[in-house]
Amino acid sequence: MNINFTYLPGDGIGPEIGEAALKVLNAVATKFDHTLEIEEHHLGGIAIDVKGTPLPAETLASAQKTEAILLGAVGGPKWDHLEGVDRPELGGLLPLRKTLQLYANVRPAKPQSSLIEASPIKAAYLEDVDFVIMRELTGGIYFGDKGRDENGAYDECRYSEAEVERIAIRAFEMARTRKNKVTSVDKSNVLETSRLWREVVIRVHQDYQDVELEHTLVDAMAMHMLSRGKDFDVILTENMFGDILTDEAAMLCGSMGVIPSASLGNGRLGNGRLGMYEPIHGSAPDIAGQGKANPIAMILSATWMLRTSFGLEAEAIAMETAVTAALDARQTTADIGGTLSTLEVGEWVAAHIT
């Protein structure tokens, strides 16, 4: 099988963790007799430096025709002086998601037993925690009208019923494959967009009566996620709330360096295969080029790519098994108790693909 994807190393530690993940993907391709067809392009800050724009035309063209996108990280202080769409995120990553209609960002929270001690949360609170956050990714305040006037600055938060409906459907469908529960997170006691959000989610729920639905305000959820995480299954929320809550959920897992994510839409030609896969952490420019970056989240993002965009379940399981073995054996970077470099972790996992 030809595994054709667009590879975007990006900025900061992106190229390092990407190299480690490619080591593992090559081992999987060899083991299972596949061919990797990788189209590498620039996105974000490096694209600004090399191409003069955060989203070059050739990068977008590649993403629009390949089956999946594997992304490292975008942004960094080097480009903080830029404004608006000249910035790596606003001019690169966000419009890429929007153009490809990748509106559903899925991030898991399931602590690995070998990393429980790495979490700042007491072990008792981590027992049986296994939920996913379904974050709406192409609407809300990040995409609203923004600017400054003589009195200050403004950012508009806007959602349409259609935007809420499609992400709600995605959440209920996922819950049916898990524990049949959706927790919808909003701020409906204050925000009109949240009142619309809650109304639409309740309406969509009428077609999913077999799935339990509860509503929680975002400030309460920030507490409940850490104190009773085992009570949740699929957490559904809007863009900015999801951005914040997913980083908080990383603390349950011991490190942001081990959590992958998938950004999904309705697929290309309706087949549901197109997706963008990336670790949830940032570009970490303070450690870039030093071999310190943890590549596990990037490797697991590649695992999700194989499973979700290419339907390669056995290959995905082989990667996950090798990652678990690395974590159990402490064959990791120093941030989670190991002594290996970024690339050495990738090489160790690649060598244990069976």
Mark whether 187 is an active-site residue: yes
The average confidence (pLDDT) of the chain is: 94
Residue in 49, 155, 207, 219 annotated catalytic: 219
User: Are residues 125 and 228 located together in one domain of the fold?
Assistant: yes
Higher-confidence position of 115 and 194:
194
18 shares a domain with 98: yes
In this prediction, what percent of the chain has a pLDDT beyond 90?
A: 89
Q: In this model, does residue 65 exceed pLDDT 60?
A: yes
* Cα–Cα distance for residue pair 247/240, rounded to 1 Å: 11
**For residue 225, which of 247, 240, 203 has the smallest C-alpha distance?**
247
Q: Rounded to an integer, what distance in angstroms lies between the CA atom of residue 133 and that of residue 218? A: 13
- Cα separation, 137 vs 135, in Å, equals 6
Q: Residues 154-166: what's their mean pLDDT?
A: 97
Read off the pLDDT band of 269 (50, 70, 90). very low
> In the beta sheet, which residues pair with residue 35?
2
Residue 288 and residue 172 in one domain: no
Residues 249 and 128 in one domain: yes
Domain end, chosen from 229, 253, 277, is at 253
Average pLDDT over residues 271-280: 83
Determine the structural domain holding residue 296 and report its residue range: 1-102+264-354
Q: Is residue 110 part of a domain?
A: no
Q: What is the mean pLDDT of residues 101-109?
A: 94
Q: Which of 187, 208, 233, 277 is catalytic?
A: 187
Cβ atoms within 10 Å, residue 224:
16
CB 310 within 8 A of CB 316: no
- Residues 158 and 270 both lie in one domain: no
Do 41 and 331 touch, CB atoms closer than 8 A? no
149 a catalytic residue: no
State the CATH number of the domain containing residue 230: 3.40.718.10
pLDDT of amino acid 42: 98
Give yes or no: residues 242 and 124 share one domain.
yes
Q: What is the pLDDT of residue 119?
A: 85
Cα dihedral across residues 246, 247, 248, 250: positive or negative: positive
* pLDDT confidence of residue 112: 86
- How many residues make up the chain in this entry? 354
Task: Tell whether 241 and 273 lie within a shared domain.
Answer: no
Residue 273 has pLDDT above 80, yes or no: no
Same-domain check for residues 70 and 154: no
Q: Residue 270 domain-assigned?
A: yes
Instruction: Report how far Cα 247 is from the mean position of its chain's Cα atoms.
Output: 10
What is the pLDDT confidence band of residue 268, given thresholds at 50, 70 and 90?
low
Number of structural domains found in the chain: 2
Give the pLDDT confidence score for residue 213 in this predicted structure.
Answer: 98
Does residue 81 lie in a domain region? yes
Average pLDDT score over residue span 200-211: 98
Q: What is the model's pLDDT at position 267?
A: 65
pLDDT value for 270? 41
Q: Which DSSP category does 44 fall into?
A: T
Domain boundary among 196, 220, 253: 253
Q: How confident is the model at residue 256 (pLDDT cuts 50, 70, 90)?
A: confident
Do 184 and 288 reside in the same domain of the chain? no
Is 67 among the domain residues?
yes
Same domain, 97 and 124: no
pLDDT at 346 over 70: yes
Instruction: With respect to residue 112, please indicate whether it lies within any of the assigned structural domains.
Output: no
Residue of 142, 159, 208, 277 with catalytic role: 142
pLDDT at 250: 87
Distance from chain centroid for Cα 305: 11
Asked if residue 109 belongs to a domain, the reply is no
Q: Is residue 111 part of a domain?
A: no
Clarify whether 243 is annotated catalytic. Answer: yes
Choose, from 86, 231, 247, 335, the residue flagged as catalytic: 247
pLDDT tens, residue by residue, 314-342: 999 999 999 999 999 999 999 999 999 99
Residue where a domain stops, chosen among 231, 253, 275: 253
- Which of 11 and 250 is assigned the larger pLDDT? 11
Return the minimum-mean-pLDDT range out of 15-19, 218-222, 249-253, 342-346.
249-253
Statement to judge: residues 40 and 149 lie in one domain: no
In terms of domains, do 59 and 166 share one?
Answer: no
pLDDT-wise least confident of 85-99, 232-246, 248-262: 248-262
Establish if 82 belongs to a structural domain: yes
Query: What is the Cβ-side half-sphere exposure of residue 180, based on CA atoms within 13 angstroms?
Result: 5
Residue 59, pLDDT > 50, answer yes
